[in-house]
Structure 1
């Protein structure tokens, strides 16, 4: 296939990802518990909404942690791909929860805005500071992996948005303490929720594309077909599928109609050239080609199975 992995480095890195996720889970459990108690004592909806978001963080981090562990399991006769898509599924679940939590927060914010209540701002200020530092540390732990892994990105976004939410809660607490602007609590909750919907929708869209086996956005399928068609001896490239299995694997399968009834060794030479082309130019690292000669089948590039 022309694709190699450094397994020892990969396992070490996966262990580090798992450890960072576990630390983030523990931190967010502590933050959530503190914010629930503080929100009930202070009467702050923004603090309780931040606690609810933190709870969704805990759930999302646990989902990400389990998915990270599952993705390491070996393939079997019943699961020929193993659990390689577990992390993509986790990203989809986490993005969905971001949006659901945001909608619930908007409903509560509207209700509270119509009936503002006095809030114990000192508790809000101190607990928001605790959340900022706790989530900030977790964000730093996951930042590097979030750049290359959709599952880690979903966990990272939960934590990043919660850190920003806590900053907003802190600002609201200061405004309530010094200016008695208690309606700010509801407005900040509403703004936080809108931001969650925007971030969650992008991740939901990306993970859905992978789960639906859509061609990755950066893969120019027509161009690839044209370049393969230019190889000597190839008459037609058709029945093409390109999809992303997980963060590390992009697959291409196609039927190739040859001008001549070539030998198996000749086909292997052409196959290696195709593999080198799509790997080096398009990062497609798994290629499956069905050779044909004079077969009477549909010759369209995309054929509905």
Structure 2
């Protein structure tokens, strides 16, 4: 009898172990949410100094909604605008807060002048920025382009973008690689659909109109990226964000931006690449565009 009990217990133990192994395998094979460790630029912020941004009256009344003294209540325990505007501090680190057994959220750990500790939500969308704060290092970099010409980088195929001024009623439609001059910096937070940006470059167009450009080095080129040796067809295609067979990889990036993913196959004499842009695919061989697969599935090739 004892032999049968021991045998049954051993089988149950073995079965339980197998089930646990299957469960852990399933958990580890599930798509993993991105964490701060996936973003070196986020960790590079540790030790950097910041300033609480000022805001126009339409949103100042809501306070600093993404920053809290309580790391367990960052979604509702906001800081007072009048008390904290203009205050300075530095980033101590990024900490993980458990949500469930298998998930967690992440917070910026911040120390203000005087030693006060506060916490801000971390987001993978703007992994190296903190909503409502501006980093001093970014302001220092932006100062270098004041008075200089820059070329606007709108590399989202099929999307028309415009810039808005602080007057709330002026929208300036812009062209890809349009030349403007940087005339100043604006760190104010505006509540009228200006989009997410740590602060603004105030830029002037050729007709004298000014507008706000969200500060990110992805949004502009400090030097004219168009080479004088390129033919007119190539230059116009790039400015219109079009791609054609025969373009170089450099020209493709100028037209559509960097791809979301590149699949690469290397043979003896040729490197074959598939550049993925959403549901559109561009095929590159030895630095030249050789085929374009459009959203409907049609492939244009050079034979």
Give the alignment's TM-score, normalised by structure 2.
Answer: 0.22
Higher helix share: 1
Structure with more of its chain in strand, by fraction = 2
TM-score, structure 1 length as denominator? 0.22
